[in-house]
A and B are shown apart, each in its own frame.
Chain A
């Protein structure tokens, strides 16, 4: 469905296949050992399955619209890996509605899913679906956001990024770029979203702990959207002419901020430094062009790691309850290279 835009050099479908861009595990490191979760231990023991036999149905529940490049790449990655392994996959998309996600998960169970990969819309709202899965002895692997509950009992494990850590890195980058003297505007994500909460808190905590000369001038929501980010930034630049740095909690809002800085007659990257999170292609390009300082990656290519984990779960290796992936870190130094290698999505 990627119709007709020839200007985009690296369509997400190929990026999701790019092995060089595949997720790398940060923690646990190989040496780290703890009791790993296997089928025998999961909630008192569930039947062993061979997910690649072409008959076992694996369900994948996506939380948000695939119009978001992160979600699109994530979904594609899962689909491609399933195809590669010969897994029979069914999927649903909850379009950011917890209620819908609950009923969709149950719906997939009704359709015969024997194991589930869930990208939760919300950490705290999947109680009914998880309970149903548990009562039917269907293991659930959660990716990209956590859910409340006990690993290896309510769900197998969590695989994903450390949002709090990403924000800390962002603070470090801004500090470096501004020489420790910054008046920052924060463009936060959609209120009520765990990602927003972590990325806001991580940044604020880091600033408070380490960078006394960084002043947070304003913090307003841009709803993870380019248009809103631009509007808010335009207003903030009017009210606070001293703003010289922006921390955007996702790339879309950073794109909006760049536009707003330009129309205020300033130069992004020079008058105002920008740090952002996610690592979509257009923004990494901007980093390469010097419009932004850094872009911290959130790697959406969950497919290989997720299925590997499932196989480990049914095998003997097992899965650790928290698998934190290594996120890339694009700066002026490596952005060009990353683009050339197609590491971005």
Chain B
């Protein structure tokens, strides 16, 4: 059933043939063939755990294939490490942001290629150039700040800028947009188009199907470590693509647009909010942010990259120290502000940065799921194995976590499955309020739909949900109300009919000027900021054709 329109040999820059790779008995790749033509944008898609990242790592020398070959420009190559691959002209953005958090933004951008004078690094020039380059990507930050002080989205932009700066014949992007806003996605697309013009081939991995149709020429679909389809993307309709990925018949793939949210709004219980945050303030980052969440409603938190959404969530659960502000749960104020206290009060947060703030990498799936619930699963400090196994089994089934078993190390799971494990960790606590920071980041369409319907279900069960998502559509379709943040200020509140893409963009554009006595006041984007942006709309590319294509089929 493998459909190949394989090109004649020699036509491709990069060619992978017959690659096998297994980890301790798990076959991650089986007999994979993959060919990349010059100047094409090639989509690589598949479910979580299909083997996409593994394939990329085999190509770039992170892993060594058990068998099979990798050819670059017709020559067989056996890279021993990413350094060699990079030197040979393959530039890669790996899945999770892989930069150095403690180092300055500029240093990260130029690592390994620092501008030098008299053999020594020219720091002044490096910083100047970094600011200039990042400015062009819409990231306007102090480049001498440590990278970790940026939001994940901004970090992803830095990684992107870095990869594109390297002289390369092939650029590989493993889920580059998972924390990006439509605006940044558009910036990325224009970068990719330029690359293409220069004859550079791009491998593009994403779970956002819209993006694939917008930018890619050809597609390779993987399932369970095998390539199941390669071909022109234009000739492949969306439903067929999904059915190939999931390995199910087209008929059974019911399409409900890109999100699986029930479009009906939840029945909101008016009355006392289950969570109410008042005047949260964090120096330089959040300014007097207030919001309420009622039982049974999903409140979206909108805003652009670095608007302070993640920080709001962290401030609520006490993971981030606040200078002012209070949080009440069901009318009772939360006195000691710490994640533990928040959890005891029934408020949990799914963190945005899965690797740094989510998984406990060396522990098993079982231990990761039951971690927060341990006190409830134990008596006199001794964990009840039976209770624990039951909970773990339940949630592994319910969230369809794909692992070789509850004993598998969580770091060996694919990104999407890790995300589900984390969701399970919180759900088994039976929380009252769920703060979800990018809950579907990096998870495949199938799983995304599952997660989205779970959110729906949870809200229907009476939970209060705060939903932060860079996926505009997800935010709009999933939320009953949307609170809009900008530079750490609440600048809008959409309700009912206003919850729409236009409503959101309008709210952002017409945001009132911030209070003048605020020392951190950013200048309002005006005509001076860029000729392409006369209206001062924060969204780049007012040219509608440049906007990401949204094919809503419903």
A/B: CB atoms within 8 Å of each other: no
- A residues with a Cβ closer than 8 A to B are none
- B residues with a Cβ closer than 8 A to A are none
